[in-house]
Chain A
Amino acid sequence: MNARARFINWGAAVLVLVLPFATHALLGQGWVRILDFALLYVLLALGLNIVVGYAGLLDLGYVAFFAVGAYCYALLASPQFELHWPLWALLPMGALLAACFGVLLGTPTLGLRGDYLAIVTLGFGEIIRIFLNNLNAPVNITNGPQGVNLIDPLHVGPWFLEQTYHVGGIEIPLVINVYFLFLAAVGLAIRLSQRLEGSRIGRAWAAIREDELAAASMGLNTRNLKLLAFAMGATFGGVSGGLFAGFQGFVSPESFTLQESVMILCMVVLGGMGNIAGVVLGAVLLSVLPEALRGLGGLQEFLFGKVWVDPSNLRLLVFGIALVLMMLLRPEGLLPARARQREFHESQ
């Protein structure tokens, strides 16, 4: 069993290192870009997992923290205010600002649970987006619906990611450079999640998720612990947002809609709430699957000689059906946490 676990770990490590090169060679730039975005989604899903999976607080406005991180980066590293902060300052700044917004969201929701909490967080997500959309008057801060353009490209010290590097005859273009930067962030996020989960704080979150009143009666300051969960979860979103802004070179409010929040929540739930491997798998699947389903047009042509159904409509249908089937067949998620599995199979 131990040897098997080690084999899986090494296999996964080799896979994530080789994957961008293989994808680049076989499927081209576009697909490596999809992988880059998948990693940003993994980061978001891991952050939301702290709030939803560990502390059991349903959050439907999580994309707000992604937006805060993205705009923090955009405004401090673009011609908008003629500021050009370096990455090492921007990412912690985005994380910190997102954490503050996490506390801001958490404070009015402390007495709420379940569906009531979900509605307030949903409203919060929308408020942030609408603010970003309208903060162009009377003083122009965010440039309103036009968004912020010409954001400084990502560079880490002397390493400019938009350059194509050559290492031992292998070409490393922007999308692969970015892949490794994002991979490092995801690795860090996984380590952080593991450490938190197994700590005194993680145990306290689990206790609040299981029975809040009993947890309070055992001396757990549920208010502070919940705010901490919101803040910690938000930092992951803030970092992800910063990386997103630097990679895109452009941010606008329409990237941060409710649909994004719902998607991130789906990743957490479908992958397996509270389990890191499940959440990573869920995020990768749900961000790659819609892109892969674009191939449905080609598939129809191959099978029937002509395109019967518009692939752009069909792919959403297939995606939706896949989600519904998944929740019917495996409500606890693909790779559930131990505790979740018990909840779903108690009666059996």
Chain B
Amino acid sequence: MSRSEASQGGALLEAVGVGKRFGGLRALHDVSLALGEGTITGLIGPNGAGKTTFFNVLTGIYKPDTGTVHFAGAPLPAGRPHAVAERGIARTFQNIRLFPNMTVLENVMVGRHVRTQAGVLGAVFKTAATRREEAAIAASARGLLDYVGIAGQAQRVAGTLSYGDQRRLEIARALATEPRLLALDEPAAGMNAAERMRLADLVRRVRDDGTAILLIEHDVKWVARLCDRITVLDYGERIAEGSPQEVLAHPKVIEAYLGRGAA
């Protein structure tokens, strides 16, 4: 379903022919990807395939050298991450990037920044509107902590949380920006099987509540069970795209993962 939607131009995100070089290294070459609302899309590939580079293009951290990215019908502001977040793409990071010395609650409250108003004057005079907004920010942040299942940790310092809880906190912080697309960079890295199951449940719940998901992951089985569509990158190029079954049976994918001859 998502395929037909995408090809009919109803795609939420549509990247066409994206290329990115770092000096002599061709990190991405002619990569295209389309995903629709209400879907979970996986981005897989061997180490160094360009997955995170592609993520950084999609979230405005890098400007692509070639190609275009459209989000919700309009071109994405390239090279301006805060503007991308404002447009409705939120992300997590492969090497968790929380605000480690702030509390768990404050981390999520920062995520509300982009959807709230109060400026210097409001802060200085502590107007009724500012106080109401602060209360609303705290309330929705608490709600999100509850949503991802770490409400009990609200007052702890973010850097002291367990690894799995830090990943959950990153998701809560990203959700606080009210994204239409949530991009997760290796959300299951370092998790055991039980934690992965719970994470998959959370990801599905986020999708069901109306946010499309794009995720990078190494665990092919886990991705195949979770995703509607999968795109495979290798050496900065897209080598396959389709449903999990199609992609995993694709000879180029098997070759990329297992080496030539295995196919």
Contacts and interface: CB of A to CB of B under 8 A. Distances in A.
Interface of A: 192, 195-196, 198-204, 206-207, 210-211, 213-222, 228, 232, 338-340, 342-343, 346
A185 to B, nearest CB: 15
Interface string B104-124: 001001110110101110111
A210 B106 CA distance: 12
Contact of A203 (B81, B100, B109): B109
A192 B124 contact: yes
A232 B85 contact: no
A157 B177 CA distance: 49
A203 B113 contact: yes
Nearest to B106: A203
B124 A207 contact: no
Given A218-B90, A218-B114, A343 B101 contact: yes
A200 B116 contact: yes
Contact of A218 (B61, B119, B157, B177): B177
A220 B110 contact: yes
A207 B102 contact: yes
Interface in B31-90: 59-61, 81-82, 84-86, 90
Nearest to B81: A216
B120 A207 contact: no
B102 A219 contact: no
A210 B86 CA distance: 21
A214 B56 CA distance: 12
B120 A214 contact: no
A228 B177 CA distance: 22
Interface of B: 59-61, 81-82, 84-86, 90-91, 93, 97-102, 106, 109-111, 113-114, 116, 118-120, 122-124, 126, 130, 133-134, 137, 157, 159, 173-174, 176-177
A218 B100 contact: no
Contacts of A346: 159
A215 B101 contact: no
A222 B82 contact: yes
Contacts of A198: 123
A139 B60 CA distance: 49
A200 B115 CA distance: 11
A219 B114 contact: yes
A196 B123 contact: yes
A97 B123 CA distance: 22
Nearest to B170: A214
19 contacts: A195-B126, A200-B113, A200-B118, A204-B113, A206-B110, A210-B99, A210-B102, A213-B81, A216-B82, A216-B85, A217-B93, A218-B82, A218-B90, A218-B110, A218-B176, A219-B90, A220-B113, A222-B82, A346-B159
B97 A214 contact: yes
A192 B59 CA distance: 35
Contacts of B93: 214, 217
A206 B82 contact: no
A222 B101 CA distance: 19
Given A195-B126, A201-B120, A217 B113 contact: no
Contact of A204 (B60, B90, B110, B177): B110
A204 B123 CA distance: 13
A206 B99 contact: yes
Given A214-B93, A342-B101, A203 B110 contact: yes
Given A200-B133, A217-B90, 17 more contacts: A196-B120, A200-B113, A201-B118, A201-B119, A203-B109, A206-B110, A210-B99, A213-B97, A216-B81, A217-B61, A217-B91, A218-B111, A218-B113, A219-B86, A220-B114, A342-B101, A342-B157
B140 to A, nearest CB: 13
Contacts of B130: 199-200
Contact of A213 (B61, B101, B119, B126): B61
> Which interface residue of A196, A210, A217, A232 has the most chain B CB atoms within 10 A?
A217
A250 B91 CA distance: 56
Given A201-B119, A216-B81, A207 B97 contact: no
A202 B98 CA distance: 17
